[in-house]
Amino acid sequence: MPSPEKIFQIFNAYQQTASLKAAIELDVFTALAEGNNTAKALAERCQTSERGMRILCDYLVIIGLLNKQNGHYDLTPESAVFLNRRSPACISSVVKFLNSPYVMDTFKDVAGVVRRGGTLMGEEGSMAPEHPMWEEFARSMAPMMAPAAQMIAEIVGEGDWKVLDIAAGHGLFGIAIAKRNPKAQIFALDWPNVLKVALENAQAAGVADRYHTIAGSAFEVEYGSDYDTVLLTNFLHHVDTGTCENLLRRVHRALKSGGRAVTLEFIPNEDRVSPPAAAAFSLMMLAGTPSGDAYTFSEYDRMFTAAGFSRSELHPLPNMPQQVIVSYKE
């Protein structure tokens, strides 16, 4: 007779999300980094009951976000780097997007979503023009994307690049290229409410004088031409393959000869169930969009080929759920 423990754990898995959200809201990880390592000290610092803090911290130990020894709590290597607000790699702001009602409400009726085969959130789901969730995305997801932005800037390399950043969001990918290349010109495309955030970030990074904006839908607005690089970061997964191909044709036309499309994506293996984080992303697209998906590399390769690109190559990123595809225009 097997044990039902794993199943029981999944019935209760939502409690993990709720507890991490609470710990971030109460700033428990930062308080621990400051040296408050008992339930009593943490409760004083975070202005909570001691009883509640003790039970929350014990639970955070159980789910692997804290350690405990002799009644004293401590950060794990992961929580020290990614959840302490004073760590430069802190990603705790992503809770504001990943655990916002925008995203979580799409999971309220997964059975209904599976019946329909797409989101129940209106006809366009999160793809509706100027949907406010993309402003929240741009404001809260930047820290999560900073390492990928660095790696993409390295892949793009040195040059006087003219770069189009499609669905720029926080703008970090174009900004990283602009910082590395003093003559690069960046054209960021997004809805006007999101471009506000990208512009703030470009100003803060000191590259605003080479940062241009194109307001509108990536499927409709004019891109301009003669780009060396077009960035497609976490974007193609929102739509079906036919819509992707149409968009990639527009990207192909906007590139100069020898130019490259650089795509950052959740790309599962051909089995569609590994690696876990990339493959699981498919469910987010089912719940939140009419027909988006996490496509495999062979699917992307076919789409880029159909759009006129001569070849595509895959670049895994260390410690990231996403990978990069570089596609060449001859």
Q: Segment 95-114, which members bind a copy of itself (CB under 8 A)?
A: 95, 98-99, 104, 107-111, 113-114
88 binds a copy of itself (CB under 8 A): no
Number of residues that bind a copy of itself (CB under 8 A): 84
Which one among 2, 35, 182, 258 touches a copy of itself, defined by CB under 8 A?
Answer: 2
330 binds a copy of itself (CB under 8 A): no
Nearest alpha carbon to residue 31 among 69, 66, 70, 63: 66
Q: How far is the CB of 230 from a copy of itself (least distance, A)?
A: 27
59 binds a copy of itself (CB under 8 A): yes
Could you tell me which stretch among 83-91, 191-199, 217-225, 251-259 binds a copy of itself (CB under 8 A)?
Answer: 83-91
Which of positions 19-48 make contact with a copy of itself (CB under 8 A)? 19-22, 25-26, 47-48
Q: How far is the CB of 212 from a copy of itself (least distance, A)?
A: 32
CB-hemisphere CA count at 13 Å for 231? 31
Site track 289-308 with a copy of itself (rule: CB under 8 A), x = hit: --x-x---------------
Nearest alpha carbon to residue 286 among 151, 113, 169: 113
Q: How far is the CB of 12 from a copy of itself (least distance, A)?
A: 7
CB 85 within 8 A of CB 30: yes
> What is the β-pairing status of strands 227-233 and 255-265?
parallel
DSSP letters, 255-322, are: EEEEEEEEEEE----TTSS-SHHHHHHHHHHHHHSSS-----HHHHHHHHHHTT-SEEEEEE-TT-S-
